[in-house]
Amino acid sequence: MSSITYVPYQQHGETARQAALVRVEFPLSGKSDDDIQVLGHLADAVSLMNPVYRDQFEPKSAVLQRLMACLIPVASAEQKTLLQNYLTILNLQNSPYSLLPRKNHLLGIPETAVKILVEKVGGGELKNDLEKVAPFLFEGLALPDKAGLYPPDMTEEEWKALGEDANIVNAMFERKDGRIAMRMNEDHYRATLRPIIHHLEAAREKSSHPEFRIYLDGKIEELRHGTKESRRIADFLWIRSNSPIDLILSTALEVYLDNWKNARGEAAGAVYVENTDAQNLLKALVDRLANLEATAPWMHKKLNIDPSKLPHLRFVDVLNWSGDYVNSPMTIIAQSLPNDDWVVSNVGSVNLVYRNTGKAIHQVSGDLMAEEFMTREAFEEYRELMFEGSQIHSALHELGHTTGAMDPAHQGKQARDYLEAEYSPLEEARAELFGMFAMTRIAKEGIISGKMAAAGHYSMLVSMVQGLRFKPEQAHVKARNMMYHYFCKKGGIEEVTENNKRKFRINLETIDDLVESMLADFGNIKAAGDKDKAAATRTEYCFEDALRLEVEQRTAQFPLGRGLIFPHLKKAGDRYLPELVYPASFNDQSKFHALLAAD
């Protein structure tokens, strides 16, 4: 078992916390020399995408990193530890902010002492750096809803005046001569993308998989031009490829960073290989998706499903990821891509469950939350199945994102265009509920055991209770918060007292009916693009629970945030070798040293 190290950090107005750092294992056996070259180039391309994400999140992140690097060598031993810890959390969050809660983390060294260190280094430009970022280090700041994706002073009227341009997912906005101007990410970050494209070209030349070579051609064109057509062609080629070595790379993937309009995507990248252990189960899940859609409790269903457009469900092991994938304290365990609803409806989608990173996360937190909040009887009954149950639920959750249809009055546009900021929490809740609904259905068909389905439900219960420790501001937390309060109100979650502690159990007699009822409501709201009803539902069921302080106190010693340390392929000259090497520390991963290139 890999060793786990812990890093303390502090946010304004929050209790002291710690994050855990753990290595991710990656299987390298059976790879040819050409495979090794492909993996090496793809992993380097992924690392180089990270500064784009940082710039979208908070452009001053690079200044903070440069400041830390200059101050650490001249600091005292105690100061050095605090500076290194700050740098670790900066890298772990990929920004001076956390999305959960939406606050910056503090340095822990007085400003006067930092100024003395700056003078030791020589002052000059470093004084300007400190002045730029001092509020992040010493004051309590809230993450703006616009992050770095919009001018801070951009108004609602200016947004509406953009028309169709407002919803271009891979566009950014600048203020020029007092007016809002749109610019495509691929144009704005062109110099940074050039070496990424170079690595993709090198990987393409070494790949022996024809469909993957063509996909890389499409991805290169996307990174060069960024048009809707190039992005859709790349998505199409990715969905149609069945290469065991694969790549996700984009300047605009998910839309969780945009808390203002839920329209802007953010940069992300991942290189992975297919984990073949569970392919039979995965095939069985996809084969039943049409039946699950037909029996789903919402009104507007996808009819006449084309088998060629069914989701490609994959369990994968990750060699490297960057951008939105590195965003503590949340860690992505599964994903449904692409985000373009037109592509999903007309071509299909890929549903990914990240296996080796999931195991690393389980190693860090494991049974801690489950044992703390489940009844002893339930914990002892299901603990051995909860990791696998959560993995199956995650796979079904991602399949859930591909289900449902807009009602006739709202076809032709995406639900997020109507729901705006209400979209992500509602859609995440709908997918979580679909996962629970589907687990029960496939258990009845004998695909999994009833006990495994119950273990999946309990893993969801733990996630819901864990989410209560945060103010409901992030999409996944809002989703689980709504589910928790709905189930508690309707009797699906029950509280009991054991050893003077509040514990929770699922009422397995009623939970399935409640899941279907809530899933029907959310599916119908999405289909109608009913923003008012989505907001009303959120207002009723999503709120800061009175249990928040208790959950916070009982989990204070649990790590909040998981830093994954990925290996890299050893190099000899320009060639990658079939040997994995771990960096000396979490901060030594190359993605954290990549910088934006100047035009």
Q: Which residues contact 554 (CB under 8 A, 6 or more apart)?
A: 372, 373, 501
Region 256-271: mean pLDDT is: 94
User: Nearest 5°: phi and psi at 511?
Assistant: -60, -40
- Residue whose entry in the numeric block shows the structure tokens 């959390």: 89
pLDDT digits (tens, 9 = 90+) for 98-134: 988 899 999 999 999 999 999 999 988 999 999 999 9
For residue 249, pLDDT over 60 is answered with: yes
Confidence of residue 3 (pLDDT cuts 50, 70, 90): confident
CA distance 455 to 434: 16
Average pLDDT, the chain: 94
pLDDT digits (tens, 9 = 90+) for 417-455: 899 999 999 999 999 999 999 999 999 999 999 999 999
CA distance 349 to 361: 26
| Inter-residue contact 92 to 85 (CB < 8 Å) | no
- CB burial readout 339-355, b (16+ within 10 A) else e: bbbebbbebbbbbbbbb
Predicted local distance difference test score (pLDDT) of residue 306: 76
| Inter-residue contact 251 to 170 (CB < 8 Å) | yes
Tokens for 556, please give them. Answer: 């204070």
Confidence of residue 540 (pLDDT cuts 50, 70, 90): very high
Pairing assessment for the beta strands 312-323 and 350-354 based on DSSP bridges: parallel
Predicted local distance difference test score (pLDDT) of residue 398: 86
For residue 366, pLDDT over 80 is answered with: no
| Inter-residue contact 308 to 236 (CB < 8 Å) | no
Any idea how long the chain is? 599
Confidence of residue 1 (pLDDT cuts 50, 70, 90): very low
CA distance 4 to 323: 23
Q: Is 502 exposed, middle or buried (0-12, 13-18, 19+ CB in 10 A)?
A: middle
Question: Percentage of residues in the chain with pLDDT exceeding 70?
Answer: 99
For residue 313, pLDDT over 90 is answered with: no
Question: Percentage of residues in the chain with pLDDT exceeding 90?
Answer: 82
Predicted local distance difference test score (pLDDT) of residue 478: 96
Distinct helix (H) and strand (E) counts, the chain: 25, 14
Better-predicted residue by pLDDT, 297 or 362: 297
- Counting other chains too, the contacts that 42-45 makes at CB distance below 8 Å and 24 or more residues apart are 42/199, 42/200, 42/203, 42/245, 42/247, 42/271, 42/319, 42/320, 43/271, 43/319, 43/320, 43/568, 43/569, 44/199, 44/590, 45/196, 45/199, 45/200, 45/203, 45/247, 45/249, 45/269, 45/271
CA distance 456 to 389: 4
| Inter-residue contact 104 to 86 (CB < 8 Å) | no
Nearest to 311 by CA among 213, 412, 431, 396: 396
* Residue-range domain boundaries for the chain: 276-310+366-554
Lay out the sheet containing 5-9: strands in order across: 5-9, 17-23, 562-565
User: Nearest 5°: phi and psi at 180?
Assistant: -80, 125
CA distance 214 to 219: 9
CA distance 462 to 456: 10
CA distance 454 to 469: 24
pLDDT digits (tens, 9 = 90+) for 8-64: 999 998 889 999 999 999 999 999 999 999 999 999 999 999 999 999 999 999 999
For residue 321, pLDDT over 90 is answered with: yes
Q: Where would I find the beta strands (DSSP E) of 77-149? A: none
Where would I find the H helices in 333-385? 341-346, 355-365, 368-373, 376-382
DSSP 13-81: TS--EEEEEEE-----TT--HHHHHHHHHHHHHHHHTHHHHHHHH-TTHHHHHHHHHHHGGGS-HHHHH
Region 584-589: mean pLDDT is: 97
Question: How many C-beta neighbours within 10 Å does residue 400 have?
Answer: 29
ω into residue 329 within 30 of 0, thus cis? yes
Distance of CA 104 to the CA centre of its chain: 19
Predicted local distance difference test score (pLDDT) of residue 334: 86
Nearest to 270 by CA among 227, 326, 225: 326
Which residue type sits at 438? A
Handedness of CA 105, 107, 112, 114 (dihedral sign): negative
The span from the first CA to the last CA of the chain, in angstroms, equals 45
Q: Which residues contact 223 (CB under 8 A, 6 or more apart)?
A: 186, 193, 196, 197, 200, 249, 251
pLDDT digits (tens, 9 = 90+) for 192-205: 999 999 999 999 99
Predicted local distance difference test score (pLDDT) of residue 305: 75
Partner residues linked to 202 by β-bridges:
none
ω into residue 101 within 30 of 0, thus cis? yes
Predicted local distance difference test score (pLDDT) of residue 2: 53
